[in-house]
């Protein structure tokens, strides 16, 4: 498929003004294709040529101003419109379009639980042309009027209120002016829970087999939706700009969610059919808030070109965490952001593929390169930059600038320059200089504290390695006796804000030096933090006794960064986890530390001969947490410990007993998620077989059961199982995106290094061919999930570096491999450093 270049988009935007799309979709024509009939009314500013995008199975007819054109003129995904005259035109297109199995365009899914079929669109960033003919770029906004023919008994959802005309015919309310990538349809026998709020219809929807689980959580989901909706109306002067608010939880969704106006789509793993922790519920709440923020930033005001992805995603990420904390019971969202999201940004920013939050337009020359920037920089780093901006600017001026931005550009497009100008209009501060330093640069600054103590005075100097200004808080903590335990605890002596200069400036303070000094206390800025030696010694013994969870998150992140930079032994991090997690009170922190220890340290940063000891440490730690929760007062912590104990098990006895008995002693009882988790680990250890997997699938024939069985079968430690899984991954092009990921997750296991070693050099050419055949979604999946991450050795690095020279790599796969190989290089450096 030809990709749209920025130059082509700019030329076409100057040439065309698009007024209206009238689209009729027929979803009753079979399992492979659907019918799409499109009428586009537009104006040409001058005489000239342009093109419309369309990727059909069959182009039946196309006409311009009533004159038929030759369908054979369609080349790849472009149809030329030549010799246009100035003035208005009408383009009519009749085509059969192909259903997707990879989450792009119109995705089709049949639920194995009950045989019901569901369809939904995912058109970001340039996949509208997979559903209807379009001038497919964000700054050619238009109104859209859709009609849909669906099987009887189905419900059709869209950007506007849907009216059932009878006999499966649906009419959707004409949208306000929106971009092509935001058009949305979801059709199927949905289970729906509806209500009304602020005079608007609200609804949540899922497939019927998940109905009991959605009903269980419906009040929570709708309460969060209403609370965030009301809070945004307190923040923003512009009212919600659409006629309804539906949230559809859809199967096999590639992203976390998509901000389609009036019809947000979420991956339906957010409809929990197994037990989850409160932190996971908080994450779902954050995603709800994030997508709602997009109704203003992204949907009402839209980027002009994809170099400004961050204007959408960073803003929604920041607002998602901030608004959830302000409007709901989830008041500690920034702890989760600090431990679960900022590391994503730091990691991305330290790779060769890093880019500025707001890259130069020339660095995003086409849609293929734009897709690569939906990453930790555009989300986590950008949100961190906005949080720093609010700390520096003040929330009042920040929101004033935002509201000016909405007022000036509503139902239109805006650029970074527009955004900065609008912020600058609300303050005397030099926002343009701030933007140059924060949004146009790459990399992570490092702030290191140095402390000198003299008679009754201590002096702090902040060594600033980097180029950005930082507004941070400094926390000073002292030892204090704990009368309950008879041990020392830490108490906050003082927390004060400073502006960190480019060069260290000593700051004297009266009194004795604190036991612990924490730079960036409260995590207001985006920087790596290094403690002075005495503060680090305090942390080693008293980390769990620091009173504020966000402060502990800053320190755990500092330890994480030190491991990745080769400055702290991975085993030391594990020892800290073993010492302090049994006393940790914040679940998000516990989950984040265990995830890093289990995934990065035990699997990659330690040599194979050190892995058993690391897993033994993690197992002992999880047993402590399970014992700590025997009173039933912290089921989320207990569930977290059970999950990680399963993943760290080196002997099958304990988890096999749990599976046989259907419960962990003292709880929880095993639900589908825990059943499949145990069975996967037993497969890795060679302690189960195909018969057991097949029996489990009979008991849970759902979509997640199908994925669980596929993962287990790929994890079995036999040559036959590996050969079958490999062949399915790389040669079955009908495999859905989710089943592909499940098999890939099961295939590579550190315990099976000798068994899968021969597949490492085979991976690169096979991945290259697969990405070329199946497109960006599978390219991302094969690079993310099917990469041999377990193989941390120089041979694997050599194969990877050679593969990056292959000119046939698609952009999506090249970016993913480049990042994986850089992570591999880092893992080798960590091993060599200790």
Sign of CA dihedral 530, 536, 538, 539: positive
Q: At CB < 8 A and 24+ separation, what contacts does 596-602 make?
A: 596/343, 596/560, 597/573, 598/644, 598/647, 598/648, 600/563, 600/564, 601/563, 601/570, 601/573, 601/574, 602/648
Residue 497 known to be catalytic = no
The token pair at 721 is 């199982």
Residue whose token pair is 């305090």: 538
> Measured between alpha carbons, how far is 296 from 291 in angstroms, rounded to an integer?
10
Strands (E), 224-347: 245-250, 257-258, 263-267, 301-303
Strand locations in 644-687, DSSP E? none
What the block records as the tokens of 256 is 């976390």
What span, in angstroms and rounded, lies between the C-alpha atoms of 514 and 90? 74
* Angstrom distance (rounded) from CA 54 to CA 274: 41
Cα distance between the two ends of the chain: 47
Per-residue tokens: 45: 């500013």
Question: What is the rounded distance in angstroms from the CA atom of residue 674 to the CA atom of residue 216?
Answer: 20
Closest CA to 557 of 573, 579, 580, 575: 573
Among the listed residues 291, 584, 673, 751, the single catalytic one is 291
Check whether the bond before 668 is cis (ω within 30° of 0): yes
Closest CA to 218 of 207, 229, 206: 206
CA distance linking residue 444 with residue 561, whole number of Å: 11
Exposure letters 432-443 (e unless 16+ CB within 10 A, then b): eebbebbbeeee
Residue 126, SS3 per DSSP: coil
Region of 80 on the Ramachandran plot (φ > 0 left; ψ -120 to 50 alpha; else beta): beta
Q: What is the DSSP letter of 667?
A: S
Catalytic residues: 291
């Amino acid at each position: 498929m030809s990709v749209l270049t920025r130059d082509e988009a700019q030329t076409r935007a100057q040439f065309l003004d698009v007024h209206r799309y009238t689209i009729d979709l027929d979803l009753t024509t079979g399992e492979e294709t659907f019918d799409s009939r499109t009428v586009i009314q537009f104006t040409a500013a001058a005489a000239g040529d342009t093109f419309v995008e369309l990727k059909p199975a069959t182009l039946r007819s196309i006409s311009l101003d009533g004159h038929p054109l030759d369908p054979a003129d369609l080349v790849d995904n472009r149809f030329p419109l030549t010799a246009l005259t100035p003035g208005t035109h009408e383009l009519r297109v009749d085509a059969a379009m192909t259903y997707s199995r990879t989450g792009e365009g119109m995705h089709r899914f049949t639920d194995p639980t009950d045989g019901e079929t569901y369809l939904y669109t995912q058109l970001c960033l340039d996949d509208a042309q997979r559903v209807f003919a379009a001038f497919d770029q964000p700054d050619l906004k238009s109104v859209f009027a859709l009609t849909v023919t669906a099987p009887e008994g189905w419900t059709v959802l869209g950007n506007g209120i849907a009216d059932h005309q009878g006999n499966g015919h649906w009419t959707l309310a004409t949208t306000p002016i929106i971009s092509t990538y935001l058009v949305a349809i979801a059709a199927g026998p949905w289970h729906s829970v509806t209500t009304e709020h602020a005079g608007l219809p609200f609804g949540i929807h899922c497939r019927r087999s998940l109905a009991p689980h959605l009903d269980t959580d419906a009040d929570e989901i709708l309460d969060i939706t209403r609370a965030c909706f009301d809070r945004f109306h307190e923040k923003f002067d512009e009212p919600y700009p659409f006629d309804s608010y539906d949230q559809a939880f859809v199967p096999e969704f590639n992203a976390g969610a998509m901000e389609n106006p009036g019809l947000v789509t979420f991956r339906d793993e957010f409809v929990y059919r197994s037990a989850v922790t409160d932190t996971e519920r908080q994450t779902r709440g954050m995603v709800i808030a994030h997508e709602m923020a997009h109704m203003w930033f992204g949907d009402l005001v839209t980027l002009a070109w994809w170099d400004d992805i961050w204007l959408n995603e960073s803003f929604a990420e920041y607002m998602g965490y901030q608004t959830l904390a302000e409007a709901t019971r989830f008041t500690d969202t920034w702890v989760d952001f600090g431990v679960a999201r900022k590391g994503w940004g730091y990691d991305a920013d330290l790779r060769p593929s890093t880019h500025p939050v707001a890259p130069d337009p020339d660095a995003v020359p086409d849609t293929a390169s734009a897709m690569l920037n939906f990453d930790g920089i555009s989300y986590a780093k950008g949100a961190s930059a906005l949080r720093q901006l609010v700390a520096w600017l003040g929330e009042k001026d920040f929101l004033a600038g935002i509201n000016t931005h909405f007022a000036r550009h509503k139902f239109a497009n805006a650029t970074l320059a527009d955004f900065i100008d609008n912020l600058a209009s609300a303050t005397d501060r030099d926002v343009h200089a701030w933007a140059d330093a924060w949004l146009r640069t790459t990399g992570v600054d490092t702030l290191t504290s140095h402390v000198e103590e003299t008679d009754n005075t201590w002096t702090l100097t902040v060594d600033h390695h980097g180029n950005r200004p930082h507004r941070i808080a400094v926390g000073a903590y002292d030892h204090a006796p704990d009368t309950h335990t008879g041990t020392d605890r830490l108490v906050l002596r003082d927390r004060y804000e400073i502006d960190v200069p480019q060069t260290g400036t000593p700051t004297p303070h009266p009194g004795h030096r604190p036991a612990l000094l924490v730079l960036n206390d409260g995590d207001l800025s985006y920087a790596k933090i290094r403690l002075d030696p005495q503060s680090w010694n305090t942390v080693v013994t008293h980390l769990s006794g620091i009173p504020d969870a966000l402060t502990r998150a800053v320190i755990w992140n500092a330890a994480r960064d030190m491991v990745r930079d080769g400055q702290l032994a991975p085993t030391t991090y594990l020892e800290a986890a073993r010492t302090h997690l049994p006393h940790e009170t914040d679940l998000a922190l516990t989950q984040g530390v265990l995830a890093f220890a289990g995934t990065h340290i035990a699997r990659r940063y330690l040599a194979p001969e050190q892995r058993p000891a690391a897993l033994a440490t993690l197992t002992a730690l999880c047993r402590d947490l399970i014992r700590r929760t025997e009173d039933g007062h912290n089921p989320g912590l207990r569930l977290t410990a059970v999950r990680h104990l399963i993943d760290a098990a080196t002997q099958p006895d304990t988890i096999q007993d749990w599976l046989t008995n259907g419960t962990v002693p003292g709880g929880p009882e095993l639900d589908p998620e825990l059943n499949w988790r145990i069975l996967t680990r037993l497969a890795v250890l060679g302690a189960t077989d195909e018969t057991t997997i097949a029996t489990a699938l009979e008991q849970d024939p759902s979509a997640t059961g199908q994925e669980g069985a596929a993962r287990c079968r790929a994890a079995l430690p036999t040559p036959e199982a590996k050969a079958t899984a490999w062949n399915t991954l790389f040669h079955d092009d009908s495999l859905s995106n989710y089943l592909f990921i499940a098999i890939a997750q099961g295939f590579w296991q550190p315990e099976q290094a000798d068994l899968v070693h021969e597949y490492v050099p085979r991976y690169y050419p096979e991945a290259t061919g697969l990405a070329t055949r199946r497109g960006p979604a599978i390219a991302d999946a094969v690079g993310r999930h099917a990469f041999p991450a377990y193989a941390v050795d120089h041979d694997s690095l050599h194969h990877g570096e050679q593969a990056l020279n292959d000119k046939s790599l698609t952009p999506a796969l090249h970016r993913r491999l480049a990042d994986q190989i850089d992570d591999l290089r880092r893992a080798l450096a960590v091993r060599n450093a200790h």
